[in-house]
A and B are shown apart, each in its own frame.
Chain A
Amino acid sequence: MSHLPDEVLARRAAAGHRECFEELLARHRNRVYRLCYRLAGNAEDAEDWAQECFVRVYRQLGRYNPQMPFTPWLLRVVSNTCINLGKARTHRQDRFPLGIMEERASTVRTADPLNAALCGEEAQAISTAVEALSPALRQAVVLRVVEELSFRELSEVLGVPLQTAATRVRRALLQVRERLASAGVEVTR
């Protein structure tokens, strides 16, 4: 089964072959979890969100067209599910963190304290700036940066024209830059 392309597996999974869905899960769980982690903001929610995303993917397999590439469709379902879960969570709490501080806290313990503190502050500022983006802009920038999608792929995932996808990422980056400047964080290469 491992030699079959995603599209064939998805078609068989849609017909009720759970082993095919399990193969898709094995292939894509890392990228789905990573995306959920960046959009959920913490490991606990990310695991729940990833499970919910895969359940949603399974339910919607009947709508998947095997003539289209599977990965953009998967990412679209996952990112849209995350956006909806994020909105539901935002009703319960004010913040929608990106999971950066949690990750940094675990890595800076062994680093140089001063450098670690500076990195932590900068990461926190970037995190805050990205968190402040609207869901559509955040979705675009996370998919572009985390998933390293090309703009053509991004347009397929978002279901918008290529230029619109690029505009969303550009607006997101400019807003992040503006907020970082307001927070006194200099963005340099």
Chain B
Amino acid sequence: MRCHWVQERLLIYLAGEMDAREAAKLCRHLEKCAHCTTMAEALAETQETVESVLRPPVATPPMLHARVMDAVEALPPPARCFSWPAFWPAFAGRQRLALACAALCFLVVGFLLGHGWIGRGQTPVAQQRVLATPALARLASDHRQPLPADPHPARSAAADPSDVARAMTPRVAFPVRPVDLSREGARLLGAHKTVVQNVPVAVLSYEWQGRRLSLFQTDHRRLTVAGLHEMMQQGECYLLGKRNGLGYIIWCSGDTDMVLMAEASPEQLLRLASRAGGANFRG
């Protein structure tokens, strides 16, 4: 047993508040260590001296009670503040413990998020940067596929954008936006649903200048948020790109993310996208 350990606990020992086992060990140390014994005597003497000066009783002023009540009468009732829940045990320092627990939880969640061990379903931003490219590849693959052979309810002869959007909405479980590109010479052929990385995607297919034009719509920030984030940081409202001969442009319209894709330059698609978005177009 070291002297430092003993001296840190001498007052608790002298006050008789130490548990019996520790007290016995400390007592054995005192029997052998003159230095600690001297320290114990010094502390006891000094405490007695200070007590002799500070402890004598003092008379409370008789008017104190009335003064306090007068002051309290002028106050509103005490404000209710935070109260500890019943399940939280009562002990000294629990506020510090609660703060420590909160800090620990914060660190653990941060660590798990950072390593991608949780929140996979919510596709955190760091992951979406990685997923953006395979997602685009999957969309490009869908774009090159022939239109589904079976006539879809949305593939009506009329192919009215509003009707198509209304018919697709319950299938993908998010509001599909009607996009009319007829003024740009694009004719709506129909729509179908696809799933990319477990995210439902509504695909609106157009014929434009003899080429296939696909407009993919997904629920906001479920698939294309990484691109949109990059676009925002650069002060842009959209993300342009070209890959394997396909131009694409990504933007956000209300709560829906849009990907427009065709065998065309991104600049050509940009003109379409800006018109397709109309008043809702934003970055």
User: Residues 122-148 of chain A: 1 if any B CB is under 8 Å from the residue's CB, otherwise 0?
Assistant: 010011001000000000011001101
A170:B8 contact, CB within 8 angstroms: yes
Please state if B42 and A177 are interface contacts (CB–CB under 8 Å): yes
- A19 to B234 alpha-carbon distance, docked (Å): 66
Q: Is A167's beta carbon under 8 Å from chain B? A: yes
Contacts of A189 in B (CB 8 A): 44-45, 48
- Known A159-B92, A177-B42; contact A170-B78, beta-carbon cutoff 8 A: no
- A65, B83: Cβ atoms under 8 Å? yes
Are A98 and B54 closer than 8 Å at their CB atoms? yes
Contact of B90 among A68, A123, A160, A173 (CB under 8 A): A68
The answer to whether residues A142 and B68 also contact, given A14-B78, A29-B60, A187-B46 and a CB cut-off of 8 A, is: no
A-B contact count (CB 8 A): 148
A170 pairs with B64, CB closer than 8 A: no
| Size of the chain A interface, CB-CB below 8 angstroms | 67
Tell yes or no: B33 within 8 A of A by CB: no
A50 and B64 contact, CB distance less than 8 A: yes
The total of chain B residues at the interface (CB under 8 A) is: 49
Give the residue among B9, B58, B77 with the most A Cβ atoms within 10 A.
Answer: B58
> Would A177 and B78 be within 8 Å (CB), given that A33-B64, A68-B90 are in contact?
no
Closest 3 CB pairs of A and B: A16-B77, A61-B78, A62-B78
Given contacts A33-B64, A54-B72, A174-B42, 7 further A-B contacts (CB under 8 A): A54-B68, A62-B80, A65-B84, A145-B51, A145-B54, A167-B8, A187-B46
Q: B-contacting residues of A (Cβ < 8 Å)?
A: 13-16, 18, 21-22, 25-26, 29-30, 33-34, 37-38, 43, 46-47, 50-51, 54-55, 58-63, 65, 67-68, 72, 98-100, 103, 123, 126-127, 130, 141-142, 145-146, 148, 150-152, 155-156, 159-163, 166-167, 169-170, 173-174, 176-177, 180, 187-189
